Amino acid sequence: MLSAEQNDRITRVGPGTPAGNLMRRYWQPAALVEELEVERPVKALTLLGEKLVLFRDEQGRYGLFHRHCCHRGADLAFGRLEDGGLRCPFHGWLFDVDGKCLEQPAEPEGSTFKNKVRQPAYPCIAKNGVVFAYLGPGDPPAFPEFDWYMAPEAYTFAFKGYMDCNWLQALEVGIDPAHASFLHRFFDDEADEDYGLQFRGHVDGDGDPLTKLLREKDCPELNIEQTDYGMRLFALRDLDDERRHIRVTNCLFPNAIVIPMNDDMIFCQWHVPIDDTHSWWITIFWAYRGEVDQAKMRADRLKTYTLPDYMPRLNRSNNYGFDVDEQRTQTYTGMGMDINIHDQWAVESLGPIQDRTIEHLGSTDKGITTYRRMLMNAIDTVEKGKAPPMALQNGDAAKHRGPIAIDTIGPRSSWETAWKDKDKARREQSPWAPDVE
């Protein structure tokens, strides 16, 4: 349990807040590339409590500005995309993606005033369907060479969804391996193709359905290992005297999780603060062996989320689709087959910002307690003027690979190496995957 002061310290993310100052030291997902694949690629958004406008110029470069023009404060979300930048309709001032003022057409001929002003801007880069932005001081850190950045675009798919709550409680559900045996419990093990039924796949392709393992082995042994990228979590379930189910997931510091979806596909999901009480999950999925059917994955997601706002169809307003008969016979929650909705109910039910002064954490919450210590230590580090963990310099990018996320079954006597061997075999079958070690 935390004090109210500690809870505020790790949850609030606006400019000048302790957690906000930390999270601005990392590349953060700002939007999906597809959101700017429209006739007028200009989008108003809020990120870490800042009102911004994201755009793509005529050369395909991305710009992220403070939303209000530095001249008189007009709303640049209504700007004109032309002449190499974004032009304010109020007085015609034109800015390039770096915020440099290119033109001030109402100023006298020969005026150099445009050289003295800049529109506050943040650097952006697109990676496999997601536009990332750096909102912190100084030069941005390098991108590590994680699998989802290294994968060819054809092997990836990106999507997002809205959560009506603080980013931290949304993240913490992903570093709580024990919840899957309950929140995502299905009473029918028949496999299905839909993404939302990821736990209904078969371990190692032809083993028991994961739903059966989670349901029948609901008290896993949990091990935590701190890593150079954050934290690795092991959920271990003994199947018999010789075999052990090994589920390896990860926390990518500061606000992402890396989780296996099936035998071939993994996803990295960031929980990105819109402001203190609202957040996005933004995800890159990738496969090792075969190209991703992006059209099918998108169609599956649109069964649960609406466009253009990426809002969940099942939400607080309709009780998340809760059905008492379904809860008795099909799912533990009674809230449909999509595990994203299960997670959404769990974290939104905690309130806009979870009150951590009244919780009582148990032994299965060791991932959460470990992460919170890491988060508080990193906040302290930034306040002391030092670089936080995982803020990489350019020469360090290649030092971080993987991380491995996998569901597999191995010998109890050698489980510590069995999951690595399975991942190595998967990478050897991949046309693109780099070695981890």
The pLDDT tens digits for 174-223 are 999 999 999 999 988 765 555 555 666 677 766 677 888 888 888 999 99
> What would the mean pLDDT of 287-305 be, rounded to a whole number?
94
Q: Any idea which residue has 């230590």 for tokens?
A: 377
129 and 152 in a single domain? The answer is no
The pLDDT tens digits for 47-57 are 999 999 999 99
248 and 102 in a single domain? The answer is no
Residue at 21 is within a domain: no
Please state whether beta strands 130-134 and 124-127 pair in parallel, antiparallel, or not at all (unpaired). antiparallel
| Prediction pTM value | 0.94
Contact 53, 67 (CB under 8 A): yes
CATH code (residue 300): 3.90.380
Q: How far is CA 194 from CA 108, 148, 200, 407, in A?
A: 62, 21, 10, 18
The pLDDT tens digits for 239-268 are 999 999 999 999 999 999 999 988 899 999
Cis peptide before 254 (omega within 30 of 0): yes
Residue at 238 is within a domain: yes
Q: What is the pLDDT of residue 189?
A: 76
Residue at 19 is within a domain: no
CA gap 178, 319 in Å, rounded: 24
Give the residue from 109, 134, 159 where a domain finishes.
Answer: 134
CATH code (residue 52): 2.102.10.10
CA gap 38, 35 in Å, rounded: 7
Q: What is the pLDDT of residue 218?
A: 87
The pLDDT tens digits for 236-247 are 999 999 999 999
Most confident range (mean pLDDT) of 210-224, 301-315, 382-396 is 301-315
113 and 247 in a single domain? The answer is no
pLDDT at 393 over 90: no
Averaged pLDDT of the chain: 93
> What would the mean pLDDT of 270-289 be, rounded to a whole number?
98
Q: What is the pLDDT of residue 392?
A: 74
Provide the domain limits for residue 83.
27-134
CA gap 321, 64 in Å, rounded: 37
Residue 85 vs residue 192, higher pLDDT:
85
How long is the chain? 437
Give the residue from 134, 159, 183 where a domain finishes.
Answer: 134
Residue at 43 is within a domain: yes
Q: What is the pLDDT of residue 116?
A: 95
Residue at 140 is within a domain: no
328 and 354 in a single domain? The answer is yes
412 and 360 in a single domain? The answer is yes
126 and 222 in a single domain? The answer is no
CA gap 173, 367 in Å, rounded: 10
Residue 210 vs residue 388, higher pLDDT:
388
Residue at 435 is within a domain: no
Residue at 6 is within a domain: no
318 and 213 in a single domain? The answer is yes
- Identify which of 216, 221, 222 has the alpha carbon closest to the alpha carbon of residue 186: 216
pLDDT at 9 over 60: yes
Domain count, the chain: 2
The pLDDT tens digits for 395-408 are 677 677 899 999 99
Give me the amino acid identity at 98. D
The pLDDT tens digits for 314-363 are 999 999 999 999 999 999 999 998 999 999 999 999 999 999 999 999 99
> What would the mean pLDDT of 290-294 be, rounded to a whole number?
95
- 189: tokens are 């093990």
CB atoms within 10 A of CB 303: 13
The pLDDT tens digits for 135-163 are 999 999 988 899 999 999 999 999 999 99
CA gap 169, 353 in Å, rounded: 8
Q: Which residues of 309-335 are buried (b: 16+ CB within 10 A; e: fewer)?
A: ebebebbeeeebbebeebeeebbbbbb
Residue at 437 is within a domain: no
- Identify which of 158, 128, 161, 160 has the alpha carbon closest to the alpha carbon of residue 143: 128
SS (H, E, C) the chain: CCCHHHHHHHHCCCCCCHHHHHHCCCEEEEEEHHHHCCCCCEEEEEECCEEEEEEECCCCCEEEEECECCCCCCEHHHCEEECCEEECCCCCCEECCCCEEEECCCCCCCCCHHHHCECCEECEEEECCEEEEECCCCCCCCCCCCHHHHCCHHHEEEEEEEECCCHHHHHHHHHCHHHHHCCCCECCCCCCCCHHHHHHCEHHHCCCEHHHHHHHCCCCEEEEEECCCEEEEEEEEECCCCEEEEEEEEEECCCEEEEECCCCEEEEEEEEEEECCEEEEEEEEEECCCCCCHHHHHHHHCCCECCCCCCECCCHHHHHHCCHHHHHHCECCCCCCCHHHHHHHHHHCCCCCCCCCCCCCCHHHHHHHHHHHHHHHHHHHHHCCCCCCCCCCHHHHHHCCCCCCEEEEEEHHHHHHHHHHHHHHHHHCCCCCCCCC
Q: Any idea which residue has 């957690």 for tokens?
A: 19
